[in-house]
Structure 1
């Protein structure tokens, strides 16, 4: 059995290419043009909608292509307008995941982050007003059905433009990448801490600093013990040991 031409991740993009091909066949990459010319019937059978421009002047491969059940004219028009927007929104969400770390404010001196041109709706030919009309569930998983893409993008900007730079698109294991996306974008790795917990954490970090200074003075000129840059590792180990003990590890 032949593999499908498209899957749920790229159908919207394929539809956008199909519509561009209908307007201007020379305006799409050669491989897409060849696919629509030779396998247009199969593409339609797998779920692509035939653009209006092709109804009167279709290549031979599309002549016998059965049209899917037609929704009302108004619904079909809305769908044709929505699909390119879905494609642009999907690309913008992916851009935040690929390049969002360039928005992170990690310079202690307060310099502005470098940013990236793809992190704006205008780069993909859309706007926040247009994206506000699109349900976020079309381009992202695990989101409130009432939220728009514009709402989701505002959250992504808050997440990626914070004080932590998240960059893991270089990983080859997409299962791990998906898990990291879920953790970062759900903020599951940032549990709320009570004032008491924050004070306890500060006290523990002060103990770490005090231990470092004590060893430095006690063995002056003999050994140099330093935790510079790794202070936070100590309370992290404390938590790991505590959680392991709870689970009987």
Structure 2
């Protein structure tokens, strides 16, 4: 080996260090060319600054600065394990429950678990593992960033995702912002306004229609600003329609404060007036759907629809997605950006209804894909009277959704700005990857399953805590007052205006000659009557014989560049004979003609199912 020709790198460093350790013990124990090289390192031959390898002082590499270098690498590795633990398990320590339920400690999130001591807290480490603006941070600062990102009011499950690009995208978005982007005063006032709308609507209905079933949203009012933010972002992203489906919990509030249904019409439904609006079905008010036109604050028009829903929880899920897919296909929306589906679930139903899993399973199939659904679980931590520990065998109501390898955001429903962060992340994720997103909004149910139930019979401790709590709006207002973002007079003015709107609507609803609204039957449904009606004539379904012959000849014509299978050729020939009148029609031939006549009339046909391809 010629002098000074050793190039140290990661592959040979351990070998060279071993030789050097032997050299320090006994120089004669290593080959002469290595003796010369080590002497040169010590300055006995060539100056250290001229060497291609590192410059070592004359001491053992297992002590002093050499050991220090190895210790730093080991400590950095332990730090990386700690960072990963927060990404994997941080949600287990997140502050999610508005009722303050304590969660058991997670040892993997304690820095001592990795051999660190209190003395290490001020030691500096490389922060490149984190998506942080600083390159170097103390251990104390790194832990603080991790806690804020993964253990504050937002807990995230995303490390089960195999796609590295997806995980990197999520880490970058969350860790660079500490998972909470600041809101402008205008945005904060909008959130406060939506919370006020939600709270006062429930209080007004409770007072004016005492004892009536309404399936109150109280305790989960953050749903209203959450969905409002989703629509605002959808508009920013170029969508022109959003379709929402949900069960009965909070439906009246969503109809009034998101979809834009007149409160006067809702109040008339409490009095069981205007049955003709129910299309002959006589359905209850908290099953009703509605459609309207909405304009976002950025000026983007959005057509909004809330699907009708039965009492059968979650049965509306595939209906919503089919409706969205049909609209996307009709518009030629191949990128699936113009129509946004939002599914609102209950925690007990999401974990307990098999149709949820079946619907999730369709999300990535070519024939059913809608470009990602925003799933929002209104997690009031109870199903009728059943607590979670008696209702499911997993930690979260959302665990079934891990089958999709999509992010699951758990958020404290008493922190509306955290909810705003989560919905923006969710909407950006959908736009980037065209996949579903799950939002698990932890809240509580202020009253019983319906307003006639007393929940204190079955959950006395839980409801003692609930009765002692501020409302979500009051808690958020207190926070804004501390920040100086709004004054109490401004907040009260928002509330007064909303009460006036509802008072006027109630007065209008009780007047004679109230003008009925019928929005749900607009557009392609404008001719739909619904229910039995003897005055509606039967539709003409007969088709002229010459047209049937022409269509059968068309469906049995094979392109010249295509050679069908022998069995298919025999089938086609039999169909040609049917067209010629030499063979009676069979069921398959009649079915083919039925679909051909529909297509010829410009009616779309969709075939789905396991054998539809054949």
TM-score by length of 2: 0.28
Residue 11 of structure 2 corresponds to which residue in structure 1? 46
Residue 72 of structure 1 corresponds to which residue in structure 2? 56
1:173 aligns with 2:163: yes
Query: Deviations 1:183-227 (Å, cap 9, x if unpaired)?
Result: 222236522234553333122122234445667766976x74554
Q: Does the aligned pair in 2 maintain the 1:104–1:162 contact within 8 Å?
A: yes
Q: What is the CA distance between 1:48 and its match in structure 2?
A: 5.4
Q: What is the CA distance between 1:116 and its match in structure 2?
A: 0.9
235-244 vs 118-127, greater mean Cα deviation: 235-244
Residue 140 of structure 1 corresponds to which residue in structure 2? 130
Choose from 88, 91, 99 the match for 1:98: 88
Residue 9 of structure 1 corresponds to which residue in structure 2? none
Choose from 104, 112, 117 the match for 1:114: 104
**Structure with greater Cα Rg:** 2
Structure having the higher strand fraction is 2
Q: Distance in 2 between matches of 1:176 and 1:185?
A: 14
Q: Distance in 1 between matches of 2:108 and 2:178?
A: 26
Q: Distance in 1 between matches of 2:116 and 2:15?
A: 23
137-146 vs 225-234, greater mean Cα deviation: 225-234
138-147 vs 68-77, greater mean Cα deviation: 68-77
Q: What is the CA distance between 1:89 and its match in structure 2?
A: 0.9
Structure having the higher helix fraction is 1
Q: What is the CA distance between 1:86 and its match in structure 2?
A: 1.0
Report the CA distance shift for 1:50/1:91 in structure 2 as closer, same or farther (over 3 A).
farther
Q: What is the CA distance between 1:123 and its match in structure 2?
A: 1.2
Q: Distance in 2 between matches of 1:51 and 1:123?
A: 33
Q: Does the aligned pair in 2 maintain the 1:96–1:119 contact within 8 Å?
A: yes
Q: What is the CA distance between 1:161 and its match in structure 2?
A: 3.2
Q: Describe the SS at the equivalent of 2:154.
A: coil
TM-score by length of 1: 0.61
How many residues are matched?
199
Q: What is the CA distance between 1:88 and its match in structure 2?
A: 0.9
Q: Does the aligned pair in 2 maintain the 1:96–1:160 contact within 8 Å?
A: yes
Structure 2: runs of 5 or more not aligned: 1-8, 23-29, 38-51, 58-63, 240-614
